[in-house]
Copies of this chain bind each other. A is one copy, B any other.
Amino acid sequence: MANRATNLLTCIPGDGTRNKDASRSDFCTVINYSVCGALSLDELVRFGASSKTIYLPEGRVLVRDGDVEDFIFSVTNGCLKSFKQLPDGRRQVTGFYFPGDFIGLADSDVYLADIEAVSDAGLCCMERKSLNALSRDIPNLERRLHELAPKALAELQGQIVLLGRKTAQERVATFLLMLLKRSFERGVTANPVSIPMICEDIADFLGLTKETVSRTFSTLRKLKLIGLDVDKTVELLDRDGLQRVAEGF
């Protein structure tokens, strides 16, 4: 907690100026993909009044495993990762957060993992109790928040199948398609797909080593399923082929 507070204070506050006559997209670039997507202009003004924009540089910690969940966040820019560590240093990345994603599931007491910026990131930050108050007043917001947990559960279940039963190739193919899907969901030019995280993060997410991830990328390249990676992006040459690999056919 002390930790996170420090982190927040050391963050460079974003431009908090807000205009009452603003159009929706003046508020926030991810407005239509995040929880705020459900809000009217009036409601957005109220929401904005209790929220604050923060900037988190690459590598900086946002929350620590066990931190009390008294602040929640919505990603506006960049990418973050959440991960757990075993006593001997083994790491498991439990998820990645992209613009529009919500951090801090309603009604959980504490954060379940460390969360850290993969690349320079911008977040919209709000006290949990303010969110709860708003959510009581704004049924649309409440509904949106209640959709989050089942969605997160479905995602984790998929990850459990991946970690329990898929081969290295299947894991990497699944990962690439997930990135594609999530880019698409937030309306970003999807292919070539952006891969902001380093090999080791991907490995720790997929239950592999960085060497195996690298080798698997090479194999997928030889199979003409993906193209050469340029500048942290990879082109998915054969989406159906990748899909077949990912599903284990």
Residues of A whose CB lies within 8 Å of any CB of B are 84, 86-88, 90-92, 94, 105-109, 112-113, 146-147, 149-150, 152-154, 156-157, 159-161, 163-166, 204-207, 247-249
Cβ of A96 to closest chain B Cβ, rounded Å:
13
Complex Cα–Cα for A84 and B150 (A)? 17
Instruction: Indicate if the CB atoms of A92 and B153 lie closer than 8 Å.
Output: no
Cβ of A138 to closest chain B Cβ, rounded Å:
17
A-B contact pairs, 11 of them (CB 8 A): A84-B161, A88-B249, A90-B248, A92-B164, A94-B160, A105-B149, A106-B146, A156-B157, A163-B164, A164-B205, A164-B207
Instruction: Indicate if the CB atoms of B156 and A153 lie closer than 8 Å.
Output: yes
Contacting residues, chain B, for A86 (C-beta < 8 A): 161, 165-166, 247-248
Contacting residues, chain B, for A164 (C-beta < 8 A): 92, 163, 204-207
Cβ of A241 to closest chain B Cβ, rounded Å:
15
Q: Which of B106, B108, B157, B207 contacts A112 (CB 8 A)?
A: B157
Q: A86-B247, A146-B107, A249-B87 are in contact. Are A94 and B157 (CB under 8 A)?
A: yes
Contacting residues, chain B, for A248 (C-beta < 8 A): 86-88, 90
Closest to A152 in B: B153
Complex Cα–Cα for A106 and B150 (A)? 8
Instruction: Indicate if the CB atoms of A91 and B153 lie closer than 8 Å.
Output: no
Instruction: Indicate if the CB atoms of B165 and A91 lie closer than 8 Å.
Output: yes
Cβ of A140 to closest chain B Cβ, rounded Å:
15
Further 9 A-B residue pairs, CB within 8 A, beyond A112-B157, A156-B160: A86-B166, A87-B247, A87-B248, A90-B248, A92-B164, A92-B165, A112-B153, A164-B205, A164-B206
Q: A86-B248, A90-B248, A248-B86 are in contact. Are A105 and B161 (CB under 8 A)?
A: no
Instruction: Indicate if the CB atoms of A105 and B153 lie closer than 8 Å.
Output: yes
Cβ of A148 to closest chain B Cβ, rounded Å:
9
Contacting residues, chain B, for A92 (C-beta < 8 A): 160-161, 164-165
A-B residue pairs, 8 tightest by C-beta: A164-B207, A163-B163, A108-B150, A149-B149, A156-B156, A92-B164, A92-B161, A90-B165
Contacting residues, chain B, for A249 (C-beta < 8 A): 87-88
Contacting residues, chain B, for A112 (C-beta < 8 A): 153-154, 157
Instruction: Indicate if the CB atoms of A107 and B147 lie closer than 8 Å.
Output: yes
Instruction: Indicate if the CB atoms of A105 and B150 lie closer than 8 Å.
Output: yes
